[in-house]
Structure 1
Amino acid sequence: MSGFPVRRPRRLRQNETLRAMIRETEINVRDLIYPFFVIHGQGIKNPVPSMPGVYQLSIDNLVKEAAGVVAAGIPAVLLFGIPAVKDEVGSGAYDPRGIVQEAVRALKGAYPGLLVITDVCLCEYTSHGHCGLVDGGQVLNDPTLELIAKTALSHVEAGADIVAPSDMMDGRVGAIRRLLDTEGFTHTPILAYAAKFASTFYGPFREAAGSAPRFGDRRSYQMDPANSDEALREVELDLQEGADMIMVKPALPYLDIIRRVKDNFNAPLVAYQVSGEYAMLKAAAANGWLDEERTVLESLTAIKRAGADLIITYYALDVARWLK
């Protein structure tokens, strides 16, 4: 192949029309999933200080805010619940009248076509803040599986379209699949947080969800950020246990993981642009250091280019507006 001056790549970069015609990767509003934090009460819209533009919402305000999501054409939301009371076993997570269960009913009643995904975990509901049962300072794997599966079932019975276990207990996807199938919910998909790393980028989320652990950390069950091969093993196990979709979390610092997972499994892949990623972009934009719109779109394009099919982002509503 002849080089310069025969080959001039800049020929195809001369104007936006030409650049758009040959663009390899594009973000579409249908790629987006918008997360919500829902709390008990009425008329509540508590701002999350570390996440400008993000709120804890009571169910009535959740339904109001979801109207904008539907109008924007965003196909799905992801719900995180903040209970009124916490206990050692996280009973609010699998209470049929729990906060997420009631939120699901309200959303599906108001917007039947909106896809409602629920986060399945115990950390927001336990008094100790860990994602499983605790004994002697140790997070117990196997006894936790029953409660995780019960939580998923209660969400589906309330009307959830997809359940997304985020606890990172070994075997939880299989436990959920078996219980859902036994109860007749064979068609409900599982979106597994398959490669969820023990990341410092979750800090603002823990403020929003009130889910910071009261002792220790989550490194005994979430993945070591240094590991890549292990992520592939985790994904393979979740798919074998019945996961229909898989997630890599966080997103931008783990583009290599997204790419490897997509190349190795080619399963529907969701990436989570987490709270820390959002907070950094917001802070830089507020200080005038970055152009917010262009930087966000570049970041999301990189995530999709790496192999993500769908992206969970707190910027979803902004992106929908920008894309118009």
Structure 2
Amino acid sequence: MVFPEYRPRRLRKNESLRSLIRETHLSPAQFVYPVFIAPGKNKREEIPSMPGVFRLSVDQLQKEARECMDLGVNSMILFGLPEKKDAMGSGAHAKDGIIQRGIKELKNKAPELTVITDVCLCEYTDHGHCGCLIGDTVDNDATLEILAKTALSHAQAGADMVAPSDMMDGRVAEIRAALDEHNYEMIPIMSYAVKYASSFYGPFRDAADCAPQFGDRRSYQMDPANVREALREATLDVDEGADILMVKPAVAYLDIISRLKDEFDLPIAAYHVSGEYAMIKAAAERGWIDGDKVMAETLLSIKRAGADIILTYFAKDMARLLQG
């Protein structure tokens, strides 16, 4: 079919027709809203580099959960800011830790909410790295036991899903074994399978107070230049028992999302990270872009690339927009 017999514009001439043939759709049910839990009471502290995102005390979580669910966003992922840190990140698996208390609060007050927990040590170590150290080097194998204890403590507190983000080799298998051994075989693992050593994480590190005190994370997070390595990482996590594969960041790695979607039959998640969020917010505040339209176009691109699940700080804003 060639012009003038075929005219693609016939199906673009009004919104009704455009909606009728639209190939990609966003739904609030596909969003996961990241939440930062901080010590204290009655705390709702806006994060300067992430306008509209707050550090919340445990007693504020119920309100946040209800707001999300009223918008159709039925899943949260939790990050914790502990009262104390140490070299081993022991607060990550403390029975009365900040995340463990947050999980219990949410499951008691909003049991229908899907509570996902980030499993990593960077928020809990005084050095800011994602594992325990030997000298200045993260000890991969020694860290695995701590990660497994952390994931297990989250499950025992009532979490619906755990999401290891540390990028230690073998952590999915270690966590799966610990969960299964303690009769939590029905707790799924959403693995940060492909997590790049990205420059887009800055605002998150401010929010979670988890910037490394020395060096960087390039010895365990992935080189942004690599694609085939991403497939190897994802394959390892599948073999170790992951239920969902995540790519992080999202927008700068749409090609990686697409490759994983083509290569694997597990659900694919993508984390639209803090820097990607902050850039849109900053440009919109200055009047350089239409923030709502750029937000929608950005999230649509992530879904179009193949993401089944989108972790995004825009979850509530986008849900409101979809509601009209």
TM-score, normalization by structure 1: 0.99
Partner of 1:226: 225
State the distance in 2 between where 1:103 and 1:197 align.
28
Partner of 1:170: 169
| Structure 1 residue identity aligned to 2:24 | T
| Structure 2 residue identity aligned to 1:127 | D
Superposition deviation, residue 75 in structure 1 = 1.5
- Out of 249-258 and 2-11, give the one that drifted further: 2-11
Partner of 1:287: 286
**Secondary structure of residue in 1 paired with 2:103:** helix
Asked if 1:123 corresponds to 2:129, the answer is no
Partner of 1:180: 179
| Structure 1 residue identity aligned to 2:320 | R
Partner of 1:85: 84
Asked if 1:204 corresponds to 2:191, the answer is no
**Secondary structure of residue in 1 paired with 2:193:** strand
1:2-60 CA distance string (max 9 Å, x none): 31111111111000000000000010111111000001110111111000011111011
1:193-236 CA distance string (max 9 Å, x none): 00000000000000000000000000000000000110000000
State the distance in 2 between where 1:136 and 1:30 align.
44
Partner of 2:234: 235
- Out of 39-48 and 112-121, give the one that drifted further: 39-48
- Out of 272-281 and 62-71, give the one that drifted further: 62-71
Q: Where does the alignment leave 5 or more consecutive residues of structure 2 unmatched?
A: none
| Structure 2 residue identity aligned to 1:191 | M
Partner of 1:258: 257
- Out of 142-151 and 62-71, give the one that drifted further: 62-71
Identity among equivalent pairs (%): 59
1:138-178 CA distance string (max 9 Å, x none): 11100000000000000000000000000000000000000
Partner of 1:246: 245
**Secondary structure of residue in 2 paired with 1:311:** strand
Asked if 1:147 corresponds to 2:146, the answer is yes
Partner of 1:133: 132
Partner of 2:96: 97
| Structure 1 residue identity aligned to 2:271 | Y
Partner of 1:69: 68
**Secondary structure of residue in 2 paired with 1:299:** helix
State the distance in 2 between where 1:62 and 1:214 align.
30
Partner of 1:3: 2
Asked if 1:52 corresponds to 2:57, the answer is no
Partner of 2:41: 42
Partner of 2:268: 269
| Structure 2 residue identity aligned to 1:194 | A
Q: Where does the alignment leave 5 or more consecutive residues of structure 1 unmatched?
A: none
**Secondary structure of residue in 2 paired with 1:52:** strand
- Out of 197-206 and 289-298, give the one that drifted further: 289-298
1:283-324 CA distance string (max 9 Å, x none): 010011111111111111110000000100001111111001
State the distance in 2 between where 1:81 and 1:120 align.
10
| Structure 2 residue identity aligned to 1:223 | M
State the distance in 2 between where 1:306 and 1:319 align.
18
**Secondary structure of residue in 1 paired with 2:77:** strand
**Secondary structure of residue in 2 paired with 1:312:** strand
State the distance in 1 between where 2:266 and 2:228 align.
17
1:99-125 CA distance string (max 9 Å, x none): 000000000001111000000000000
Query: Structure 1: which 4+ aligned runs deviate by more than 2 Å?
Result: none
State the distance in 2 between where 1:98 and 1:23 align.
46
Superposition deviation, residue 136 in structure 1 = 1.1
State the distance in 1 between where 2:89 and 2:123 align.
8
- 1:6-21 matches, within 5 Å, as 6-21=5-20
**Secondary structure of residue in 2 paired with 1:270:** strand
Partner of 2:194: 195
State the distance in 2 between where 1:62 and 1:205 align.
19
Partner of 1:319: 318
State the distance in 2 between where 1:239 and 1:284 align.
39
State the distance in 2 between where 1:71 and 1:110 align.
14
Superposition deviation, residue 266 in structure 1 = 2.4
